[in-house]
Structure 1
Amino acid sequence: MIPALRPGDKIAILSTARKITVPEIEVAIRTFENWGLEVVLGQTIGASYHQFAGDDALRLQDLQQMLNDASIKAIVCARGGYGTTRIIDRVDFTKFKEHPKWLVGFSDITALHSHIHTLGLESIHAIMPVLFPKAGTADSIETLRLALFGEELTYTAAPHPFNRSGTGTGSLVGGNLSMLHTLTGTRSDVSTDDKVLFLEDLDEYLYHIDRMLVHLDRSGKLANLAGLLIGDMSDMKDNAIPFGKTAYEIILEHTDKYNYPVSFGFPVGHEPLNLALVCGREAKLEVNEAGAKLVYC
C-alpha cells in the first residue's frame, strides 16, 4: 500500500515524454504548494531534444533518480505526448518496489501505469501539470488531491444509450487505448482478466480505433473483463471516404457480444473533466438506468 501524502511531503515534477517549460507548469507548482507540498523539479523540466524533454538518457536518469529517492513521496509527470516507452525497459524499479510512491499522469504515461501494475503496485491516472491552467479543470485537480491524500473517491456518470447494465468488481486497469495497444506483448503488458478496464483516446482516425479494438479483442483482452469504462474519444478524425461509425459505435460493436457492465461517456481522458483513477485498486462498477457508479472496495 502506498502511503497517502501529508502536508510537508516532497513531490517531484518531471517529463518522460514531450518537452515542457517551467512557466507552463507554474499554476501546478503553486497548487501543489498550496496543498502544503514541497515541489522538486526534475532535470527534464526545461530540457529540450527535438520533441522530447531531453534525450532518452536524460529522461531515464531523471525518472530513475526520483524513483530511487526515498524522500520523494510522489512523481508527477508534467505532460504526455510521446517518449515513455523509449526508456521504460531501462528503468530499474528495485528501490521503487522497496519504497513505493505515487506516480501520476495519463495519456503516454499509460505505459508507466501498466508497467507499475505488473509490479503489483497502485498509481494514479489523472490530470497533469501542463493542463492545470485550462478552463474547466478545477474538479479534475480536486480529484487528484483527494487521490494523493488518501481521501474517499466515489464517481458517478450520466446514463448513455450504449450502456450495458450490471455489476462487476475487479482491479482497475487501463488508460490510453493507443498505448495499451502498443504495450501488447511487452514487459509492460497487463492481464485484463477479471478486471475493470477503462479506455480513452485522442486525435486518432476512426479506422485506427477499429483496428486497435479488433486487436485487443483477438488477443483476448476484452473477453473476460469484470467491467468496462469508456471515457472520452476526443478529436477523432475520419478519411475522405467515411469509416461509417463513431468511436463509441466501434467500441460497442466489438464488446456487444460480452455480458459485463459497460459505461460509455465516463469522465476520463483528454477533456477538462478527467477524474483521477487509482490504477491497480479493487473497484466495483455498477451500471443501471440511472447511469454508472464506480466505488473503490
Structure 2
Amino acid sequence: MTADDPSVLRPPVLREGDTVLLVSPSGPTRPERVARGIELLTGWGLRPQVAPNAYARRGYLAGDDALRAADLNAAFADPHVRGVICTRGGYGAQRVVDLIDMAAVRRDPKVVAGFSDITALQFALWRGARLAGVHGPGAAWVDERTPLRSAESLHAALMTTAPLTVTAVPGEETYPVRVPGRAVGRLLGGNLCLITATLGTPDMPDLTGAVLLVEEVQEPPYKVDRMLTHLRRAGVLDGLAGVAVGQFTDCADGWDTTVVDVLTDRLGDLGVPVLGGLPIGHGPGQLTVPVGTSATLDATAGTLTTTPAVR
C-alpha cells in the first residue's frame, strides 16, 4: 500500500480508559438496544457515555436537527471524549452535517465509527476536515447479526494500529461479482443510497484513484441499477482504481434479474478490479474497515487490506 497523504487526519488510537460518546445523528434508538453495545465497549476497557440526546425521538429522527448536531459538536469539542460511536443509521445525518463545527474536528481529531446513514457524516468529515473514519457496526449491537468476529473486527479498527484485511466469503451473495486484478487507492464510500444522495453536494468526494466501497440493504435490483447508472452518468466512476462490493442484504424482488446480475452489469465494464463477497454492510457477520485511508484491493486473491484510520 502507498503511504497516506499527511494532510489526512488520522485520530489517536483508542486506549483503555478512554471515554467514547454514543451519539444518534440519524434515526432513533432505545436504551435496551444500546445496552449490549455499552457492555461490549466497557469490556474493552473503554468508558462509554450516552450523549444527552441519544435517545431523543421525533418520528423517524433521533430528535430535532439542533439536538443531534449539538451532541456531535459537544463530542468534538470535549477534550475528554476520545471517540464518537454512532448508535445506528436510519435517516437524518444529511440534515445536520452543515451544522458541524469542523474547526473543532480539525483541532482535536477523534475516531468516528458507524455505517449506513452515517456514510453522510463520514463524507462531511472527510470534506470538512479530511478525517479518516471507521465503517463498522453501531452501538445498538445485536449479537445475532454481529457475533464475536464482528466485535473483534471493530475492536481492531478502534484500538490497534495494524493494517486490516477483509477476505471475500464464498457464502456472501455478492461473491460472484468479480473482475480480477489488483488496485491501490484510498478507500471511500459506504452505503450506495447515501453515496448517490451526496451527488451535487459539497460533500461528494473526488473518487479519482479511489477504491469505492459499496453496500446496501432492502433496495430491489432495479433501484440498485438506477443508483449505479446515476453514478456512471454523473461521471464519478470514470477514474476509479477499483470497487469493493460489500453486502447487498435483502435486495430482491419478484423479477428474475438479481442484484448480482445488476452489480456485474453496472460495475463489470469499468475496466478496474472489482471484488464482491466482502462481509461489509447490513448483513450477518459484518466486519469493519477504515475509510479515508489507503487500501489494496486484490480481486484475484479475494482480499481488501487497509491502513488503519487511527494512529
Query: Segments of 4+ in structure 1 off by > 6 A?
Result: none
* TM-score of the aligned structures, taking structure 2 as reference length: 0.90
Per-residue deviation, 1:113:
1.3
Taking the aligned partners of 2:298 and 2:93, their CA distance within structure 1 comes to 33
Deviations 1:203-256 (A, max 9, x none): 1132211111111001122222111111111112436xx3x4211211211222
Amino acid at match of 1:209: V
1:138 aligns with 2:148: yes
Taking the aligned partners of 2:55 and 2:270, their CA distance within structure 1 comes to 47
**Structure-2 residue corresponding to 1:108:** 117
**Structure-1 residue corresponding to 2:215:** 200
**Structure-2 residue corresponding to 1:10:** 19
Call closer, same or farther: CA 1:185–1:37 in 2, change over 3 Å: same
Taking the aligned partners of 1:136 and 1:35, their CA distance within structure 2 comes to 16
Taking the aligned partners of 1:124 and 1:133, their CA distance within structure 2 comes to 20
Deviations 1:72-117 (A, max 9, x none): 1110000110011111112121111111001100000000111122
**Structure-2 residue corresponding to 1:284:** 296
Amino acid at match of 2:218: D
1:180 aligns with 2:195: yes
Per-residue deviation, 1:258:
2.1
Per-residue deviation, 1:44:
2.1
Taking the aligned partners of 1:223 and 1:11, their CA distance within structure 2 comes to 39
The farther-off stretch of 7-16 and 83-92 is 83-92
Amino acid at match of 1:254: R
**Structure-1 residue corresponding to 2:7:** none
Q: How does 1:2-81 map to 2 (within 5 A)?
A: 2-81=11-90
Deviations 1:127-166 (A, max 9, x none): 1121343345221111110011124222221464431111
1:233 aligns with 2:248: yes
1:82 aligns with 2:91: yes
**Structure-2 residue corresponding to 1:253:** 265
> SS at the partner of 1:284?
strand
Deviations 1:179-208 (A, max 9, x none): 000001112111111011110011113221
- Picking from 151, 156, 161, the partner of 2:167 is 156
Deviations 1:15-36 (A, max 9, x none): 0111112121111111111111
1:223 aligns with 2:235: no
Contact kept, 8 Å, 1:78 with 1:105, in 2: the verdict is yes
Per-residue deviation, 1:274:
1.5
> SS at the partner of 1:75?
strand
Amino acid at match of 2:284: P
Q: Percent identity?
A: 33
* TM-score of the aligned structures, taking structure 1 as reference length: 0.94
Taking the aligned partners of 1:73 and 1:103, their CA distance within structure 2 comes to 9
> SS at the partner of 1:131?
coil
Taking the aligned partners of 1:104 and 1:85, their CA distance within structure 2 comes to 16
Task: Flag the structure with more relative contact order, 1 or 2, with Cα contacts below 8 A and sequence separation at least 6.
Answer: 2
The farther-off stretch of 41-50 and 158-167 is 158-167
Contact kept, 8 Å, 2:279 with 2:287, in 1: the verdict is yes
Amino acid at match of 1:129: A
Taking the aligned partners of 1:191 and 1:249, their CA distance within structure 2 comes to 27
Contact kept, 8 Å, 1:117 with 1:279, in 2: the verdict is no
Amino acid at match of 2:200: G
How many pairs are equivalent?
Answer: 292
RMSD of aligned residue pairs (Cα, Å): 1.5
Call closer, same or farther: CA 1:80–1:161 in 2, change over 3 Å: closer
Taking the aligned partners of 1:262 and 1:209, their CA distance within structure 2 comes to 16
